C-alpha cells in the first residue's frame, strides 16, 4: 500500500512543478558599453537603476563576452564558442546578405524555453538574420513576439534610423516611431504585464548605447556637445529604461520569481572613467577590455543578493543557466561550452561547481583568463591584477606566473580549430582580410 | 654585598661522655669479635671502620656511627649471614646499652646552643615569595628564569647546607629585584582598556569598486587568514600584531566564533595529510616578540562543531607585549602550495601538475575552519590599584613625601622579612631611597629603588632564625614558626593570616597550629608541596632526562605520556594528602588516576576521557601504588632498556629508607665477562662472582629484577621481545622470597614501620631544610609510632611533623 502511494507521488511530481512556478527570465544586453560606464563597477558615470539592481542581486566582477557584437550574440544564443558555431567575426546580415543564423542548425535558448512552455519575446535588435527576407526567422528561433529594429537592410535605406523617427517592426508590422528605444521598452513592459501569470522569457538586446550618438528624450532640449557627452547621455537614458522595466516587473508583483540579467555585448564604444582613471575604449579590442562587461543578476528566488562575486563567467554560461532554471530538456546533439551559473548565484563556495577559466575570441584571435592572468593566441601573457591595460610583461621574478601561464596554455591548446564560416557571404567578406 | 654563606655549626663544645658511668666495657669487645674483621684495621668495607670506637660518645661523628651500628643490629642485617653470629643475649645487651647511651647523648646534644640555621630561598621559593609578597600573577613573569640551578643535598634542594651563593646568583638577585620592583609599583590610574575586533566580511561590498580582492597566493592566504584559518596559518588581530602586543599587563578576554566547514570533503585524507574523522580543533596560542620562542605556548584548545557557529570566550592573563593567535590544531598538514600543485590536479582536469594552480580553484572545496569574528578586550583588574601595590602604598598622596616613602618601605620590609622590623635595621635602606628621591625628584623611582634594596637584603633572601638568647630557650619564635610552616607546605612566605597569628603570638598554640595546617593544605598553594616534594622524593624531576627513543615509542610522544605520567603521580600524592589516606597506599592501592592516553598505555580499558579521573584497579592490571606508576618506572630507565640496579636502588632508598653505600671510590666499575649472557638477569648474576659487589648487590638486584615486568616506559610485559619469558623471582638477603612487583609490595606491607620511617625522614628533611642528625631520632620514632596509631593517615603525618619538638626548636 505504502509503495503504491510513493509511486503515485513520484508520478505526480513532474506535474506538481507547475509551469507557473517556474521563474520568469529577462535578459538585458546593452549595446557597446563596458564596465567603465556603470557606477556600481566603480565608473564615474552614474547609473542608479543598474546599481539598484546590483544591490538587490549579485554583481559579477569578471564576466567575458566576445570583443565584438556578432560573435557575442551568437555565442549567447547558442551556448557555444565561436570556434564551434563559426560566427567568429562581426557581420551584419541585413546589410551584407547571406543566410544568417540557420534555425535548422542551431537551437537557441529561446526555442528550448518556448518548447518547455515559456512565453517568449524579443525587444531590440537581431541583425543575424535578414528579417525582411526571412520574416519567420524570429519565430523559428523561438520568439513568440518581437519588437525590433531590423538593422540596416541593404536595399532599404529608410531602415537605417533606429532612434529618432526609428523604423521599428512589432510582430511583423513595420512603423516609424518617435524614439525607437521608448517604443521597444513600452512593448516589453506591456508583454510582462500581459504575461504576469505565465512563465516568460524576455530577451532584450537593447538599441542603446550604440552609435549614432544622438540626443535622448531627456536631454533633447539642451543636448551636450561632443561624442563622449552624447554617449554619456545615451547611457543615462539606457539606465532609465532599465529602471522602468524593472519597476514594471516589481509593480506586477513578479519581483520574487523573476531573474533579471543585465550585461553588455562588448567593451565601450567610447572610453569612460573607471575607478578614477580614464579607461580604454574596449569595443573590438583584442584584450581583456574588449570582452570584460558588466554582469548583474537579480534573482530573489535564488539569492538575497547584495554581493559582488569574483566567480568567473562568460557568455556560454547563460544558456545552461536558463535551461536549468526552466527545468527544460535539451534537444539531443547540442554541445554546450559553458556551465550553469546557478551554484554561483546560490552562493556555493565549491570551485568545482564553477568556472576556473573564461574564454573569448574574435576572428582567429583567442584569449583565455583566470582570476589573475590572461594569455592569448599571440602569446601575450599578463598579470591583470597589476597590469589591467596589458602593457607590461610579467616579471621574470614572479614564481607563480609560469605555472599559471602553462595552465592557460593547456586550456587554449584543448580547443579545436574554427568551424567553417556559417555561409559563403560571411567567408567572402572576412576571407579578404 | 658579601654574604655569609652558611652557618651550620656542628655540635660543638664539650660533650661530656654521658655513657661514662657504665661499669663494664661492653661495646668494644663486641665490636672486636663480630665487626672488626670487615670494619677494622684490615678491611674497611662500606668505608666503615669501628676499631677506634669506644663506649664514650665523644663527639657527633662517633655518635652517628654508633647509631648506625644500632640500626644494623636492630634490622639484623649485620653481621652478615656467612660471618660468626653473636648470641641473642649478647645482641640484646648491646642494643639496650647503645639505645640508652644514644638517648642520653641526644638529650645532651639538644642542650647545646649555637645551631643557627640560615638557609637561602631556593629558586622556587624565591619565585613564590615574590608572587605572594606583591600578589603578582606569575603567568609569564618569572624573574628567576636565569637563576642558576640549586643543588640538592640529602635529596632535596631546599637543604640550606647545599644552597650556595655565587657572583652569578647575586647579579641575578639584583636584576630580579629590579624586574619585581618595576612590576609591583603601579601608581596612577588603571591602564587604558583596548578592544580590537574583527568580523569576517564574506564578500566585498557590492556598492564598492571591488576593492581588495586577493589575487596572489600570498595575498590570498593573508586575506583568507583574516576570514578563516586555512591549514596552519595562524590567525591574529592586525592591530595587536602591529602594536607589538597588548599595551599593559592584565587579564584579557579573547572572544571568537568559529565553524567547521566541510570536515569531510571530496579530498582523500591522505592526500590532504589530514584526519577527517576527528572533530576540528582550534587552539589559542600566546607569544611575545620580545621574549621569543620560549614564551610561545598553547593556552587553550576547543573542539569546533560542524557547520554550526560556536561562541567562545577565553580569559587569559597577558603580560605587556604579548599577543595571541588562533590555530587550526588538526588542520591539513603541509603547505598550501603543495595542495595547489600536487593534490588539485588529481581532482580537477583543469588543474595542471605541478603548476601553481590558482588558489581559487581549491578554496571552498576542502575542509576549512572559519572564524567569523575575533576580538580581544582588556585589561581587566579585580581592583585598582592592585592589592599587592596598595598594601604597601595605600592611598598615595598627590605629591608623596619622604615620610610616606619611609612608612611604605617599612611596611614592605616587615612583610619581606617575614617578621616585625625596627626602624634602625631598615634605616640604611630608607636612606638609600631618600637620597634617590632627593637626587632624582621622582618619588616612584625612589620607591622602586628602596624596594630593590630590600629585596636584595639577606633578611629577605635568607630564612634567618635568631640566635637563641639562652641555651635552654631553643624554641623558634612564632614568626620563625610561621616561616617554617609556610615554606614547608607552600614553598612560600606566610600569608596574612599566619602573620597576624604570629604577631599575636598565637601560632604556637597546638590547636591553632593544627587548624592552620589544615587550612594551608586545603589552599591551592599546597600544590607546591606535591610538586617539589614528589619531584625530589620520587625522583620525578629526572623524568625526561633520558627520554625514550622516538622511533620505537611513538605513543609516548604523540600522547604526551611523560606529562600524563607525572600528572598521575602528582594527583595520587595530592589525593592521599587531601583525603588523609593511609600512606601505605603509596606501596599498594586499588586505584590510580588516569587519562585515556595513559590508560591505553597501561592496557586498562574503558577510560576514554582526556581529563584525568580516578580509576579502580584489578590485580590483572598490574598497577596500584607507586611501583606501578609509569613516571617512576620511566625515570628509573635509560630510555632504551630497563635498569634493574637503578630500580632496586630507588626502592631501597625511597621506600625502604636503607640506601646501600655507594661503591668504594677507589674501585673501578668492573667490566664483567658477559660471554654467553642473554638476559639482564644473567648479566647481573656476574655480581655474585665478586664478593665486593655482591655485598650490596644482593640487596639491590632481587628488587630490581622483580620489576622487570615493566619495560623502559612502564608498560607491562611478560616476555622480552617475543620469546624469553621474564623471571621476576628473587630472594632478599633476609631470606624472603619475592616474585614480581607484588612481592616487593608485600615485603613492604609486612614492614609498615619501615616505609613510614622512610617517608617521615624524607618529609622531615624537606620540612626542616636540613640534614637529619642522630639527635632527631627520638622525634622520628615518636612520629612513626603516632602515625601507626593514626592508621597511617598522610595528613596526620604532616600534622605530627609540624607539632614535633624538632620542628619547633632550632
Quote the pLDDT of residue B70.
79
| DSSP code of residue B454 | H
B505: left (phi over 0), alpha (psi -120 to 50) or beta: left
Residue among B78, B70, B131 nearest B105 (CA): B70
Smallest CA–CA distance, residue B216 to chain A, in Å, is: 8
Q: Which of A307, A310, A350 sits opposite B206 (nearest CB)?
A: A307
Q: A308 touching B, CB under 8 A?
A: yes
Q: How many CA within 13 A on the CB side of residue B405?
A: 26
B672 pLDDT band, cuts 50/70/90, is: low
- Between A199-208, A238-247, B367-376, the lowest mean confidence (pLDDT) is in B367-376
3-state secondary structure of B72: helix
B350 vs A contacts (CB less than 8 Å): 356-357, 407, 411
Q: Which residues contact A32 (CB under 8 A, 6 or more apart)?
A: A69, A209, A210, A211, A264, A265, A266, A267, A268, A269, A283
Rg (CA), chain A: 21
The pLDDT, as a whole number, for residue B678 is 67
Bridge partner list, A358: A369
Q: Is B375 helix (H, G, I), strand (E, B) or coil?
A: strand
CB contact under 8 A, A61 and B361: no
Q: Dihedral of the CA atoms B325, B331, B335, B338 (nearest 10)?
A: -160
- B209, closest residue in chain A (CA to CA): A42
A-chain residues within 8 Å CB-CB of B360?
A: 310, 351, 356, 370-371
User: A249 in helix, strand or coil?
Assistant: helix
- Among A83-97, A101-115, A391-405, B92-106, the minimum mean pLDDT is found in B92-106
Residue B702 φ/ψ, nearest 5 degrees: -60, -40
Report the C-alpha gap between B141 and B145 in whole angstroms: 9
Among B203, B356, B360, whose Cβ lies nearest the Cβ of A307?
Answer: B203
DSSP bridge partners of B376: B196, B254
Q: What is the mean pLDDT of residues B123-149?
A: 92
> By the CB < 8 Å criterion, does A40 face chain B?
yes
pLDDT tens-digit profile of B387-402?
999 999 999 998 999 9
**For residue B640, is pLDDT > 50?**
yes
How many inter-chain contacts (A to B, CB under 8 Å) are there? 88
| A19 vs A326: CA distance, rounded Å | 9
In the block, cell 613516571 appears at B631
CB contact under 8 A, A371 and B215: yes
Give dist(CA B498, CA A312) in Å, integer.
75
Hey, is the C-beta of A304 within 8 angstroms of any chain B C-beta? no
The three-state secondary structure class of A270 is coil
Q: Is the Cα dihedral B554, B560, B563, B567 positive or negative?
A: negative
Per residue in B35-91, pLDDT (tens digit) is: 877 887 777 777 777 777 766 665 666 777 777 787 787 777 788 777 788 887 887
CB distance A33 to A235 below 8 Å? yes
Range scoring the smallest mean pLDDT among A10-19, A338-347, B552-561: A10-19
Q: What nine digits make up the cell of B509?
A: 598554640
- Residues 6+ away with beta carbon under 8 Å from B557: B550
Percent with pLDDT over 70 in chain B: 88
How much is the pLDDT for B61?
67
Q: Looking at chain B, which residue has its C-alpha nearest residue A348?
A: B364
Cα-flanking dihedrals φ and ψ of residue B331, to 5°? Answer: -75, 175
Torsion of CA B563, B565, B569, B570, to 10 degrees: 10
Closest B-chain CA to A57 = B206
At B520, list the grid cell.
Answer: 594551608
Provide the grid cell at B588: 599498594
- B144: its cell numbers: 628567576
Of B205, B209, B215, the CB nearest to A275: B209
A397 and chain B in contact, CB less than 8 A: no
CB A382 within 8 Å of CB A354: no
Question: DSSP alpha helices (H): ranges in B462-560?
Answer: 478-489, 496-503, 510-522, 527-537, 554-558
Q: A40 contacts in B (CB within 8 Å)?
A: 206-207
User: CA nearest B202 in A: which residue?
Assistant: A307
Please, are residues A308 and B204 in contact by the beta-carbon 8 Å criterion? yes
Classify domain A20-356 at the CATH class level: alpha beta
Mean pLDDT of chain A: 93
Task: Choose the weakest-confidence range: A207-211, B39-43, B613-617.
Answer: B39-43
Band of residue B666 on the pLDDT scale cut at 50, 70, 90? low
At residue B682, the pLDDT reads 77
DSSP string, B729-744: EEE-TTS-EEEHHHHH
The conformation of residue A189, written as its DSSP 8-state character, comes to: H
The stretch A391-403 carries a mean pLDDT of 94
pLDDT computed for residue B609 by the predictor:
86
Pairing label, strands B280-288, B292-304: antiparallel
Other Cβ atoms less than 10 A from the Cβ of B721: the count is 6
Task: Confirm or reject contact between A309 and chain B (CB < 8 A).
Answer: yes
DSSP state of B235: B
Of B205, B210, B355, the CB nearest to A407: B355
Grid cell, residue B130, equals 615574590
- Count the Cβ atoms, other than its own, within 10 Å of residue B49: 17
Under a CB-based contact definition with an 8 Å cutoff, are residues B111 and B471 in contact? Answer: yes
- CB neighbours of B449 closer than 8 A, spacing ≥ 6? B181, B432, B433, B436
DSSP-derived letter for residue A21 is G
Q: What is the rounded average pLDDT for all residues in chain B?
A: 84
Q: Do B355 and A51 touch (CB under 8 A)?
A: no
Question: Taking 50 as the threshold, does the pLDDT of residue B266 lie above it?
Answer: yes
By C-alpha distance, which of A326, A221, A272 is closest to A44?
A272
Residue B217 pLDDT level (bands cut at 50, 70, 90) = very low
Q: Which of B206, B215, B266 sits opposite A55 (nearest CB)?
A: B206
The Cα B413–Cα B399 span in angstroms is 23
Q: How far is CA B321 from the centre of its chain?
A: 29
Q: B213 at the A interface (CB within 8 A)?
A: yes
Residue among A59, A310, A400 whose CB faces B356 most closely: A400
Using a CB–CB cutoff of 8 Å, tell me whether A42 touches chain B: yes
- What pLDDT does B56 receive? 62
The pairing of beta strand B368-380 with beta strand B228-229: antiparallel
Give the rounded percent of residues in chain B with a pLDDT score beyond 90.
Answer: 51
pLDDT tens digits, one per residue of A342-358: 999 999 989 999 999 99
- Residue B115 pLDDT exceeds 70: no
CA B282/CA B261 separation, integer angstroms: 13
Residue B165, pLDDT > 90, answer no
User: What are the tens digits of pLDDT across the range B507-537?
Assistant: 999 999 999 999 999 999 999 999 999 999 9
Q: Does B212 touch chain A (CB under 8 A)?
A: no
pLDDT bucket at B663, cuts 50 / 70 / 90: low
B724: pLDDT confidence band, cut at 50, 70 and 90?
confident
Answer yes or no: are the C-beta atoms of B496 and B484 closer than 8 Å: no
Provide the β-strand partners of residue B616.
B591
Cell representation of residue A400: 607563480
Residue of B nearest to A51 (CA): B207
What is the model's pLDDT at position B796? 95
Closest CA to B540 of B569, B580, B507, B582: B569
The pLDDT of residue B758 is 95
**What are the Cα distances from residue B129, in Å, to B216, B363, B498?**
54, 53, 14
CA A411 to chain centre: 23
| Angle in degrees, 0-180, between the axes of helices B88-110 and B777-789, rounded to the nearest 10 | 110
Could you tell me which residues come within 8 angstroms of residue B763 by beta carbon, excluding any fewer than 6 positions away?
A: B533, B797, B798, B801
For residue A6, CA distances in Å to A10, A14, A16, B350 come to 6, 14, 14, 42
Q: What is the pLDDT of residue B86?
A: 82
From chain A, the residues in CB contact with B217 under 8 A are 400
Cell (9 digits) for B443? 618619588
Query: Which parts of A305-393 are beta strand (E)?
Result: 307-314, 358-362, 365-369, 373-376, 381-383
The confidence score (pLDDT) of residue A79 equals 97
Residue where the block lists cell 551568437: A74
Strand order in the sheet with B280-288: B292-304, B280-288, B322-328
Q: Do B358 and A356 touch (CB under 8 A)?
A: yes
Q: CA of A42: which chain B residue's CA is closest?
A: B209
Contact B354 A403 (CB under 8 A): yes
Return the exposure string of A341-375: e unless at least 16 CB atoms fall within 10 Å of the residue's CB, then b. bbbbbebeeebebbbbbbbbbbbeebbbbbbbbbb
The helix/strand/coil state of B760 is helix
Amino acid at each position: 500500500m505504502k509503495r503504491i502511494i510513493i509511486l503515485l507521488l513520484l508520478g505526480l511530481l513532474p506535474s506538481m512543478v507547475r509551469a507557473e512556478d517556474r521563474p520568469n527570465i529577462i535578459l538585458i544586453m546593452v549595446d557597446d558599453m563596458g564596465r567603465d560606464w556603470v557606477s556600481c563597477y566603480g565608473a564615474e558615470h552614474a547609473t542608479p537603476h543598474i546599481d539598484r539592481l546590483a544591490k538587490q542581486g549579485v554583481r559579477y566582477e569578471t564576466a567575458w563576452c566576445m570583443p565584438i557584437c556578432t560573435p557575442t550574440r551568437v555565442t549567447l544564443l547558442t551556448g557555444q564558442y565561436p570556434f564551434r558555431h563559426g560566427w567568429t567575426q562581426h557581420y551584419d546580415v541585413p546589410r551584407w546578405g547571406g543566410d544568417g543564423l540557420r534555425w535548422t542548425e542551431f537551437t537557441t535558448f529561446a526555442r528550448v524555453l518556448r518548447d518547455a512552455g515559456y512565453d517568449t519575446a524579443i525587444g531590440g535588435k537581431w541583425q543575424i538574420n535578414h528579417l525582411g527576407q526571412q520574416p519567420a526567422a524570429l519565430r523559428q528561433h523561438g520568439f513568440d513576439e518581437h519588437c525590433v529594429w531590423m538593422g540596416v537592410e541593404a536595399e532599404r535605406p529608410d531602415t537605417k534610423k533606429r532612434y529618432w523617427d526609428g523604423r521599428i517592426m512589432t510582430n511583423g508590422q513595420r512603423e516609424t516611431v518617435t524614439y525607437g528605444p521608448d517604443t521597444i521598452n513600452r512593448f516589453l513592459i506591456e508583454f510582462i504585464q500581459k504575461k504576469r501569470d505565465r512563465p516568460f522569457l524576455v530577451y532584450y538586446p537593447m538599441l542603446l548605447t550604440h552609435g549614432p550618438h544622438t540626443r535622448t528624450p531627456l536631454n533633447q532640449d539642451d543636448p551636450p556637445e561632443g561624442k563622449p557627452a552624447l554617449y554619456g547621455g545615451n547611457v543615462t537614458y539606457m539606465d532609465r529604461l532599465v529602471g522602468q522595466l524593472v519597476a514594471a516587473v516589481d509593480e506586477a508583483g513578479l519581483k520574487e520569481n523573476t531573474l533579471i540579467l543585465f550585461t553588455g555585448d562588448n567593451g565601450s564604444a567610447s572610453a569612460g572613467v573607471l575607478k578614477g582613471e580614464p579607461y580604454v575604449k574596449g569595443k573590438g579590442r583584442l584584450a581583456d577590455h574588449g570582452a570584460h562587461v558588466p554582469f548583474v543578476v537579480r534573482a530573489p528566488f535564488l539569492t538575497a543578493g547584495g554581493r559582488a562575486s569574483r566567480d568567473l563567467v562568460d557568455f556560454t554560461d547563460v544558456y545552461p543557466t536558463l535551461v536549468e532554471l526552466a527545468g527544460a530538456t535539451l534537444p539531443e546533439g547540442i554541445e554546450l561550452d559553458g556551465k550553469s551559473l546557478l551554484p554561483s548565484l546560490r552562493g556555493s563556495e565549491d570551485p568545482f561547481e564553477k568556472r576556473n577559466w573564461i574564454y573569448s575570441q574574435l576572428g582567429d584571435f583567442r584569449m583565455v583568463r583566470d582570476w589573475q592572468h590572461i594569455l592569448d593566441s599571440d602569446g601575450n601573457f599578463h598579470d591583470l591584477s597589476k597590469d589591467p591595460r596589458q602593457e607590461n610583461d610579467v616579471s621574470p621574478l614572479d614564481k607563480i606566473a609560469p605555472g599559471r601561464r602553462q595552465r592557460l596554455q593547456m586550456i587554449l591548446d584543448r580547443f579545436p580549430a574554427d568551424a567553417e564560416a556559417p555561409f559563403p557571404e560571411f567567408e567572402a567578406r572576412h576571407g579578404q582580410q | 654585598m658579601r654574604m655569609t654563606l652558611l652557618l651550620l655549626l656542628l655540635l660543638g663544645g664539650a660533650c661530656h661522655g654521658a655513657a661514662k658511668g657504665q661499669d663494664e666495657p661492653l661495646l668494644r669487645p663486641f665490636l672486636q669479635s663480630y665487626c672488626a674483621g670487615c670494619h677494622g684495621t684490615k678491611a674497611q668495607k662500606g668505608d666503615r671502620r669501628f676499631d677506634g670506637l669506644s663506649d664514650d660518645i665523644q663527639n657527633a661523628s662517633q655518635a652517628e656511627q654508633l647509631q648506625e651500628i644500632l640500626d644494623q643490629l636492630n634490622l639484623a642485617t649485620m653481621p652478615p649471614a656467612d660471618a660468626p653470629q653473636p648470641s641473642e643475649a649478647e645482641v640484646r645487651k648491646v642494643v639496650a646499652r647503645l639505645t640508652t647511651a644514644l638517648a642520653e647523648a641526644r638529650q645532651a646534644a639538644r642542650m647545646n646552643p649555637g645551631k643557627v640555621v640560615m638557609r637561602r630561598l631556593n629558586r622556587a621559593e624565591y619565585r613564590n615569595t615574590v608572587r605572594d609578597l606583591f600578589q603578582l600573577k606569575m603567568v609569564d613573569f618569572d624573574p628567576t628564569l636565569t637563576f642558576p640551578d640549586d643543588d640538592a643535598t640529602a635529596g632535596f634542594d631546599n637543604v640550606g647546607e647545599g644552597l650556595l651563593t655565587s657572583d652569578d646568583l647575586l647579579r641575578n638577585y639584583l636584576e630580579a629585584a629590579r624586574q619585581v620592583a618595576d612590576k609591583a609599583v603601579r601608581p596612577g590610574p588603571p591602564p587604558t582598556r583596548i578592544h580590537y575586533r574583527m568580523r569576517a566580511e564574506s564578500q566585498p561590498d557590492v556598492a564598492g569598486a571591488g576593492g581588495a580582492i586577493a589575487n596572489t597566493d600570498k595575498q590570498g592566504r593573508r586575506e583568507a587568514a583574516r576570514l578563516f584559518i586555512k591549514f596552519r596559518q595562524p590567525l591574529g588581530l592586525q592591530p595587536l600584531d602591529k602594536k607589538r602586543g597588548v599595551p599593559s599587563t592584565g587579564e584579557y578576554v579573547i572572544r571568537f566564533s568559529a565553524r567547521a566547514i566541510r570536515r569531510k570533503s571530496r579530498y582523500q585524507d591522505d592526500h590532504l595529510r589530514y584526519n577527517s574523522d576527528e572533530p576540528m580543533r582550534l587552539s589559542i596560542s600566546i607569544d611575545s616578540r620580545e621574549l621569543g620562542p620560549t614564551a610561545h605556548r598553547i593556552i587553550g584548545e576547543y573542539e569546533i562543531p560542524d557547520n554550526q557557529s560556536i561562541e567562545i570566550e577565553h580569559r587569559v592573563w597577558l603580560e605587556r607585549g604579548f599577543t595571541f593567535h588562533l590555530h587550526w590544531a588538526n588542520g591539513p598538514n603541509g603547505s598550501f602550495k603543495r595542495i595547489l600543485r600536487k593534490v588539485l590536479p588529481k581532482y580537477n582536469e583543469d588543474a595542471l601538475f605541478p603548476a601553481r594552480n590558482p588558489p581559487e580553484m581549491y578554496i571552498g572545496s576542502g575542509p576549512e575552519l572559519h572564524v567569523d569574528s575575533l576580538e580581544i578586550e582588556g585589561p581587566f583588574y579585580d581592583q585598582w590599584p592592585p592589592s599587592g601595590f596598595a598594601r604597601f602604598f595605600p592611598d598615595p598622596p598627590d605629591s608623596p613625601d619622604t615620610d610616606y616613602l619611609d612608612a611604605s618601605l617599612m611596611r614592605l620590609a616587615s612583610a619581606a622579612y617575614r617578621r616585625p622590623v625596627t626602624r634602625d635595621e631598615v634605616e640604611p635602606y630608607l636612606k638609600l631611597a631618600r637620597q634617590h628621591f632627593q637626587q632624582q625628584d621622582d618619588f616612584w623611582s625612589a620607591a622602586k629603588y628602596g624596594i630593590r634594596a630590600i629585596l636584595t637584603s639577606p633578611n629577605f633572601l635568607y630564612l634567618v632564625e635568631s640566635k637563641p638568647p639562652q641555651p635552654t630557650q631553643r624554641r623558634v619564635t612564632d614568626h620563625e614558626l610561621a616561616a617554617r610552616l609556610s615554606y614547608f607546605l607552600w614553598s612560600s612566605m606566610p600569608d596574612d593570616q599566619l602573620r597576624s597569628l604570629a604577631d599575636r603570638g598565637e601560632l604556637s598554640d597546638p590547636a591553632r597550629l593544627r587548624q592552620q595546617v589544615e587550612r594551608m593544605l586545603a589552599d591551592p598553594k599546597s600544590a607546591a608541596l606535591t610538586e617539589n616534594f614528589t619531584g625530589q622524593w620520587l625522583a620525578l624531576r629526572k623524568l625526561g632526562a633520558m627520554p625514550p627513543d622516538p622511533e620505537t615509542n611513538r605513543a609516548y610522544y604523540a600522547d604526551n605520556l611523560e606529562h600524563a605520567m607525572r600528572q598521575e603521580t602528582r594527583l595520587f600524592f595530592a589525593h592521599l594528602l587531601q583525603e588523609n589516606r593511609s600512606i601505605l597506599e603509596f606501596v599498594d592501592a586499588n586505584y590510580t588516576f588516569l587519562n585515556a592516553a595513559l590508560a591505553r598505555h597501561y592496557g586498562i580499558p574503558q577510560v576514554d576521557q582526556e581529563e584525568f579521573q580516578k580509576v579502580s584497579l584489578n590485580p590483572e592490571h598490574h598497577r596500584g601504588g607507586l611501583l606501578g606508576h609509569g613516571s617512576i618506572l620511566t625515570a628509573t630507565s635509560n630510555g632504551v632498556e630497563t635498569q634493574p640496579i637503578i630500580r632496586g636502588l630507588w626502592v631501597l632508598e625511597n621506600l625502604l629508607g636503607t640506601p646501600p653505600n655507594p661503591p668504594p671510590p677507589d674501585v673501578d666499575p668492573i667490566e664483567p665477562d658477559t660471554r654467553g649472557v642473554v638476559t639482564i638477569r644473567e648479566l647481573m648474576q656476574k655480581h655474585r662472582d665478586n664478593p665486593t659487589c655482591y655485598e650490596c648487590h644482593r640487596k639491590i638486584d632481587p628488587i630490581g629484577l622483580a620489576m622487570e615486568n615493566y619495560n623502559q616506559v612502564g608498560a607491562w610485559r611478560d616476555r622480552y621481545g617475543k620469546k624469553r619469558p621474564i623471571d621476576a623471582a628473587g630472594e632478599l638477603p633476609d631470606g624472603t622470597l619475592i616474585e614480581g612487583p607484588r612481592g616487593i609490595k608485600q615485603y613492604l606491607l609486612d614492614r609498615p614501620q619501615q616505609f613510614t620511617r622512610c617517608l617521615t625522614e624524607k618529609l622531615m628533611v624537606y620540612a626542616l631544610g636540613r640534614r637529619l642528625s642522630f639527635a632527631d631520632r627520638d622525634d622520628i620514632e615518636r612520629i612513626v609510632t603516632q602515625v601507626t596509631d593514626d592508621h597511617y593517615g598522610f595528613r596526620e603525618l604532616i600534622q605530627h611533623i609540624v607539632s614535633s619538638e624538632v620542628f619547633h626548636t632550632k
